[in-house]
Homo-oligomer: A and B are copies of this chain.
Amino acid sequence: MSLRHGLLGLLAEGPASGYDLSRRFQEVLGALWPAQHPKIYAELGRMVDGGLIDIDSHGPRGRKAYRITEAGRAEVRRWLTQVDVDHTVRLEALLRSYFFWLMEPDDLARHLAREAEFYTEQAAIYRAYAERKDAGEFGSTPQVQSMRITIEGGVRVYEALAEWARWAATYKLPAAADGGAPEDGTANSDDG
């Protein structure tokens, strides 16, 4: 249910519409906590019903800006201080690595090169963002300082993954495995 608290947290900075919130989620958090607009609009509706937010104003094109209520502020604080962090990680890249022995060495080398490139790029995007912040481009409000910490996390995680992919490329896998069961080598497959 962290989407709810993410939205509340953003609204704690000031009123915003579902459209605004969608964009802000994509901007910085997009690669760390994806959220599609259908979920956001639905959650906003539920939070209005629950009294955590209310409608601040109506704008052009049916725009509705939401404002956090005291109950909403209390709820996001409760989440931050009293709810245990969900430490679930779900990295498909690491799941795949468990099965590298099923890949041809050439395919694996290509795969790892592409992975390293991807993570390096992501890290660079975040690092550039961090540098703009450190240069004072966005001011130094508490909100900006918090965002800076989030960005630093992104940089570090993506750099770790990039280095991992490069390390893995140098790690010698014994052979181009066939995929047969190791205990009783019966299976034989000659297809590609």
Contact = CB atoms under 8 A, between A and B. Distances in A.
B107 A81 contact: yes
Mostly, the A contact residues are: helix
Interface in A107-165: 107, 111, 115, 118, 140-143, 145-150, 152-154, 156-157, 159-161, 163-164
A150 B97 contact: yes
B173 A89 contact: no
Contact of A157 (B6, B157, B168): B157
22 contacts: A5-B99, A28-B98, A32-B91, A33-B91, A33-B95, A70-B189, A73-B187, A74-B191, A80-B102, A80-B107, A81-B107, A89-B90, A89-B91, A91-B153, A95-B150, A100-B146, A101-B143, A140-B174, A143-B177, A145-B173, A153-B164, A157-B161
Interface of A: 2, 5-6, 9, 12-15, 28-29, 31-34, 70, 73-74, 76-77, 80-81, 85-104, 107, 111, 115, 118, 140-143, 145-150, 152-154, 156-157, 159-161, 163-164, 167-168, 171-175, 177, 179, 181-184, 187, 189, 191
